Structure 1
Amino acid sequence: MQLVKPAGQRDAARKYDIITALGAYALARNKHDQRLVLRLITLMTARYNWARDELAVGQREIARLWAVDERTVKREMAKLRGLGWLVVKRQGARGRVTEYGLGLDRMLATTETEWPNVGPDFDLRMSGKPEENPVVPLPVKGHIPPPDVSDGTEWALAQAILFSEAPDVYGSWLRNLVRVDRAGGRLTLSAPSRFHGNYVQTHLNRKVLAACQSVDDDVTEIVIVA
Structure 2
Amino acid sequence: MLAKKPVGRSASVIKYDLLTAMGTFALSEPKGPQRLIFRLLTLITARYNWNRDELAVGQREIARMWGVDERTVKREMAKLRAMGWLVVKRQGSRGRVTEYGIDIQRIFETTRPAWAAVGPDFAARMEGEPEDKVVPLPVKGNVTPPEIADGTEWDLARAVIYAEDPGLYAAWVQGLKRSDRAGGRLVLTAPSKFHATYVSTHMAGRLLKACQSVDGDVAELIVQA
Is TM-score (shorter-chain normalized) higher than 0.5? yes
Cα contact 1:4–1:127 (8 A) shared by 2 = no
In 1, the alpha carbon distance for the partners of 2:149 and 2:124 equals: 27
Corresponding position of 2:2: 3
Unaligned regions of 5+ residues in structure 2, if any?
A: 137-142, 162-167, 178-190, 204-221
Q: Deviations over 1:36-85 (max 9, x none)?
A: 11100000010000000000000000000101000110111011001100
Corresponding position of 1:121: 121
One-letter code aligned to 1:49: N
Find the partner of 1:204 among 195, 199, 219: 199
Taking a change above 3 Å as real, the CA distance of residues 18 and 202 of structure 1, as seen in their structure-2 partners, is closer
SS in 2 for 1:8: coil
Cα contact 1:85–1:104 (8 A) shared by 2 = yes
Corresponding position of 2:59: 59
In the TM superposition, what is the alpha-carbon distance from 1:131 to its structure 2 partner? 1.1
Corresponding position of 2:211: none
Q: Deviations over 1:11-38 (max 9, x none)?
A: 1121111000000100111111111111
Cα contact 2:121–2:201 (8 A) shared by 1 = no
Matches for 1:137-176 after TM superposition, within 5 Å? 140-143=145-148, 168=158, 172=170, 173=172, 176=175
Query: Which protein has greater RCO, CA pairs closer than 8 Å, 6+ apart?
Result: 2
What is the Cα-based RMSD across aligned positions, in Å?
3.7
Cα contact 1:3–1:126 (8 A) shared by 2 = yes
Taking a change above 3 Å as real, the CA distance of residues 202 and 16 of structure 1, as seen in their structure-2 partners, is closer
SS in 2 for 1:45: helix
In 2, the alpha carbon distance for the partners of 1:135 and 1:12 equals: 30
SS in 2 for 1:54: coil
In the TM superposition, what is the alpha-carbon distance from 1:135 to its structure 2 partner? 7.7
Corresponding position of 1:108: 108
Cα contact 1:4–1:128 (8 A) shared by 2 = no
Could you list the structure 1 runs, at least 4 aligned residues long, displaced by more than 6 angstroms after superposition. Answer: none
Cα contact 2:6–2:50 (8 A) shared by 1 = no
Taking a change above 3 Å as real, the CA distance of residues 98 and 201 of structure 1, as seen in their structure-2 partners, is closer
In the TM superposition, what is the alpha-carbon distance from 1:6 to its structure 2 partner? 3.0
SS in 2 for 1:143: coil
Taking a change above 3 Å as real, the CA distance of residues 7 and 139 of structure 1, as seen in their structure-2 partners, is farther
In the TM superposition, what is the alpha-carbon distance from 1:107 to its structure 2 partner? 0.5
Cα contact 1:135–1:203 (8 A) shared by 2 = no
Taking a change above 3 Å as real, the CA distance of residues 58 and 145 of structure 1, as seen in their structure-2 partners, is same
Larger Rg: 1
In the TM superposition, what is the alpha-carbon distance from 1:211 to its structure 2 partner? 4.6
Corresponding position of 2:76: 76
Cα contact 1:88–1:100 (8 A) shared by 2 = yes
In 1, the alpha carbon distance for the partners of 2:89 and 2:126 equals: 26
Taking a change above 3 Å as real, the CA distance of residues 141 and 56 of structure 1, as seen in their structure-2 partners, is same
Q: Deviations over 1:123-161 (max 9, x none)?
A: 12112111123587x884222879xxxxxxxxxxxxxxx
Corresponding position of 1:24: 24
Taking a change above 3 Å as real, the CA distance of residues 177 and 88 of structure 1, as seen in their structure-2 partners, is closer
Taking a change above 3 Å as real, the CA distance of residues 79 and 190 of structure 1, as seen in their structure-2 partners, is closer
